[in-house]
Amino acid sequence: MTEQNTTADPVEAPQAAAPVAPAAPAPPQAPVAPKDRRKLRAAVRWTAAVLVFGAAGAGAAFGTLRPERTDVPGLSTLTDGRWTYPALSKPTLPPGAALPFADDNPDGIHYAGLTQLLLPAPVGSTPDPGLKLEKDSVVGVDTFLEEYESTAREKMKQGFTEDGLRQIVGRAWTTPDGTRTRVYLLRFHSSQFADLFTGCGADMNLSGVNRILPDDVWGKARVASSTVPAGDGIKVMEEPAPFGDEQTRVGCLQSGDVRAVILQNHKGATATVPLHQAVILQNQLLG
């Protein structure tokens, strides 16, 4: 794992990272005009602290993916355990397609290819062969449902058929410390269908997991800092002790028509920081 290369003391307010792409004036973004509950989803898009666009247009690189220590919940020491991710790029939209939550797209439809919205694996990790992928990182419904107890799969599969699931993509990796991460994106026909997905939350029936509770560290950071993503579209949870041989941590996100499920496991206790970092970065990609 790459060591932190920033040694500055924590600051009172988050600071944006330096852009990595060539400097160029950015064109005005379409104003965000979410309606009703969409206002909550728009509010969770953390554009000021963790990532900064470096240039205009499709393919422009995000800023550094190791933000200032005080920008990420729980990150306050030199050995905070963050991972280094490759530079992210804005997804390429079809000609004339609107950005999610723009004036002409209040429902938050993502017109970019779903794989472009998927969080990449961090530097130094290895692909996890345990996740069976089809072409273009597509995950079959049955493969995704292997994350859940067998007693829950039939009902969930029927729900996907009835509730407008269009596609699932995924990525899985293992870091040198043994932490296994799986990131899934589920695209539905509309945000209303995405609202019906119950497979990520306090009642989710994960394989081998007895209970899932809210992550107190994330919750306290959300209350203490306005830069930590909040709202009903983001949930960060953990398997409480006793948890057997390994602990599971879970990140749940909704952005318009897309739901994200992030799962992390590690023998013994699973560190909080890597999941928090993954949730923040995946939220940025979906924003």
142-194, pLDDT tens digit by residue?
999 999 999 999 999 999 999 999 999 999 999 999 999 999 999 999 999 99
Residue 166 forms part of a structural domain: yes
Residue 48 forms part of a structural domain: no
Identify which of 3-17, 214-228, 258-272 has the greatest average pLDDT: 258-272
Residue 6 forms part of a structural domain: no
Whole-number pLDDT of residue 1:
42
Residue 182 forms part of a structural domain: yes
Mean pLDDT for the chain overall: 78
Task: Give how far the C-alpha of residue 28 lies from the chain's centroid of Cα atoms, to the nearest Å.
Answer: 26
Residue 78 forms part of a structural domain: no
Selected residue with higher pLDDT from 25 and 193: 193
Q: How confident is the model at residue 63 (pLDDT cuts 50, 70, 90)?
A: very low
As a whole number of Å, the end-to-end CA separation of the chain is 27
Q: Indicate the pTM of the whole model.
A: 0.74
Long-range contacts of 60-64 (CB under 8 A, 24+ apart): 60/21, 60/89, 60/90, 61/19, 61/20, 61/21, 61/87, 61/88, 61/89, 62/20, 62/87, 62/88, 62/89, 62/90, 62/284, 63/16, 63/17, 63/18, 63/19, 63/20, 64/17, 64/18, 64/20
What is the Cα–Cα distance from 7 to 125, expressed in whole angstroms? Answer: 24
Residue 207 forms part of a structural domain: yes
Residue 1 forms part of a structural domain: no
Residue 200 forms part of a structural domain: yes
Query: What is the domain extent for residue 268?
Result: 110-286
* Angle between the N-to-C axes of helices 216-224 and 272-286, in degrees from 0 to 180, rounded to the nearest 10: 60
Provide the number of structural domains found in the chain. Answer: 1
